[in-house]
Structure 1
Amino acid sequence: MFAQAETIIKNESFGKQIRVVLTQMLFPSEKVLKNESYVVHYVEKNEEPIEYKHLTKAHALADYEYLAKIAKQEVKKGRSLC
């Protein structure tokens, strides 16, 4: 068993259904050394979370912004159907 730690860079919730989180891996060091130290998590209620790994912070931020835009559209679409 090994330990791992992440720090949250950005975290945004969209209603009660969707959350988009950008994290940076702190350790284990072998993952950080591979330069896949940024992860964007797309978490939807009652669904398996999806993780997108990135080499650079810039790519991770761009992906985070894109997924946040998608999440906003999903929440808006859900509200208009009610």
Structure 2
Amino acid sequence: MNRVYILLTALLFFILLFYAGELSQKAKINHGAMTMQGMLVMGNGQIYLVGDDDVSKEEVESVSINEVIGRYGSVAKLDIQNHSFF
């Protein structure tokens, strides 16, 4: 009977270690991650994400990318290696 308890305790211990490892990996992935919603704008061979809520497609298409960067406070330059999906 003692062997059964020892075996169950060891099994529970390894399950807890596995679960703790999974949580640790998820925390490492999400650490420093940021999400942002907005409109994608292409200009000067780069892709930018304009994150302001009041941005419209017509406003962005009618001005240059430098004006977009100056006009809106939340503009992020995206570093995308493969532009083929755009």
TM-score, shorter chain, exceeding 0.5: no
Query: Which structure's residues are more often helix, by fraction?
Result: 2
Larger radius of gyration: 2
Larger relative contact order (Cα-Cα within 8 Å, sequence gap ≥ 6): 1
State the TM-score, normalized to the length of structure 2: 0.30
